[in-house]
Structure 1
Amino acid sequence: MKFAIAVYSPPHAPASRRALRFAEAVLGSGHEIVRLFFYQDGVHNACSSIVTPQDENNVAGEWQNFISCHQLDSVVCIAAALRRGVLDQQEAERHERRAACVSPPWELSGLGQLHDAIQSADRLICFGGH
């Protein structure tokens, strides 16, 4: 089965951790993830400047390792990211900001990428949000 997974929660929220565990189970069961899409506050999962307290799980780091290890397509909604200051190098330069916190394996792109993933997947599973 092919899954598209949308994450709407930041890394410190339980929904983000649940999404990661679900994604691990999907691949562990022999299924496919066509795309991970990070939207709303979920864009913070792609931010490398987050510092996690020592007594908490570094969910953002776990997402990055998981995505890199499995070479997954991971898209961060560019509009949601810009609103929250989550920028890659290109957007930081374009908007004359000094810092970028998004780098590969993450890709900033539009909401159309979620629509495309939905069309390619058998199931869309969403975590978090309002």
Structure 2
Amino acid sequence: MKFALMVNGSPYRSQGALSACRFAMAAVEQGHQVLRVFFHGDGVYNAVRDAVPPADEIQLPQLWRDLARDHGVDLAVCSAAAERRGVLGEQGEDMEAFPAVADGFRVAGLGLWMDACLAADRVIVFHG
């Protein structure tokens, strides 16, 4: 089965982002495909490069990066939502690099979310 996931909640303010990450990990471990995780609204805070949770807390930013690295899951951050919240930082000279966005994530528009929805068997939205 192919899934498209949307995360609307910030990483430590609600359970939504952690639930989405755990769902995605369980899905790929069971042989399903997670086409894309799209971070929208306060969900864009999951992609902040400089987020450093205390050592005794769940390292959610690292779990997302591991999911992308180990399973090829596309982690797309909504450009409009990230810009609105100051998450993008200053663009690099090539106008594609966003140094405030963590490795493993990419900045994208809603068109990529629509593509994932059309290709997926199931679309799941995790609210904050």
TM-score of the superposed pair, with normalisation by structure 2: 0.88
> How many residues are paired up?
125
Instruction: Determine the C-alpha separation between the residues in 1 that align with 2:120 and 2:28.
Output: 14
Q: Which runs of 5+ in 1 are unaligned?
A: none
| Other-structure match for 1:11 | 11
Could you tell me which residue of structure 1 aligns to residue 86 of structure 2?
85
Q: Does 1:126 align with 2:121?
A: no
Alpha carbons of structure 1 residues 14 and 92: separation in structure 2 relative to 1, 3 Å:
farther
Contact 1:8 1:38 in 2 (8 A): yes
Partner residue, 1:65? 66
Deviation at 1:56, TM superposition (A): 1.2
Mapped partners of 1:103, 1:55: distance in 2: 21
Task: Please give the secondary structure, in 1, of the residue aligned with 2:107.
Answer: strand
Q: 1:114 aligns to what?
A: 113
- Greater helix proportion: 1
Q: Which moved more, 1:118-127 or 1:69-78?
A: 69-78
Contact 1:87 1:101 in 2 (8 A): yes
Q: Which runs of 5+ in 2 are unaligned?
A: none
Deviation track 1:15-44 (CA, whole Å, cap 9, x = no partner) reads: 111111100111011111111101001111
How far did residue 91 of structure 1 move?
6.3
CA 105–29 in structure 1, closer or farther in 2 if over 3 Å, else same: same
Q: What is residue 53 of structure 1 aligned with on the other side?
A: 54
Would the aligned equivalents of 1:11 and 1:59 in 2 still touch at CA under 8 Å? yes
Kept in 1: contact 2:49–2:103 (CA 8 A): no
* C-alpha spacing 1:110/1:56, structure 2 compared with 1 (3 Å): same
Aligned-residue Cα RMSD (Å) equals 2.0
Q: Which amino acid letter does the alignment assign opposite residue 10 of structure 1?
A: S
Q: State the identity as a percent.
A: 41
1:20-35 matches, within 5 Å, as: 20-35=21-36
The 1:88/1:102 distance shift into structure 2, 3 A limit, reads farther
What secondary structure is seen at the aligned counterpart in 1 of 2:91? Answer: helix
Residues 68, 74 of structure 2: 8 Å contact kept = yes
